[in-house]
Amino acid sequence: MLDLRLPIGILFVIFGVLLIGYGFFVPTQTQIGQSSVDLNICWGAVMGLFGLVMTMLAVCQKKTEAS
């Protein structure tokens, strides 16, 4: 049976990488206070990290079921 964490994790990793790439190549900066922060890079990193956690949970679950 397919664990839904695996395709969701892969999807979020792909979206995170795309958003980080978009943040690096398209210079859209939002002023927050006195520092300029590119929100695409920040949220791309959050999405990618979430995707990695979901993928790792699915892989670890498969390893424990196999043994």
Q: Residues 6 or more apart from 62 whose CB is under 8 A from it?
A: 3
Q: What is the DSSP letter of 4?
A: T
Element (DSSP H or E) covering residue 30: strand 30-32
pLDDT given for residue 62 in this prediction: 79
Two tokens at 50? Answer: 């979430």
The residue range of the domain holding 24 is 5-66
What whole-number distance in Å separates Cα of residue 1 and Cα of residue 22? 35
Tally of structural domains, the chain: 1
Pick 27 or 56 by higher pLDDT: 56
pLDDT given for residue 15 in this prediction: 97
pLDDT given for residue 33 in this prediction: 59
pLDDT given for residue 48 in this prediction: 97
Q: pLDDT of 9-47, one tens digit each?
A: 999 999 999 999 998 888 665 666 556 677 889 999 999
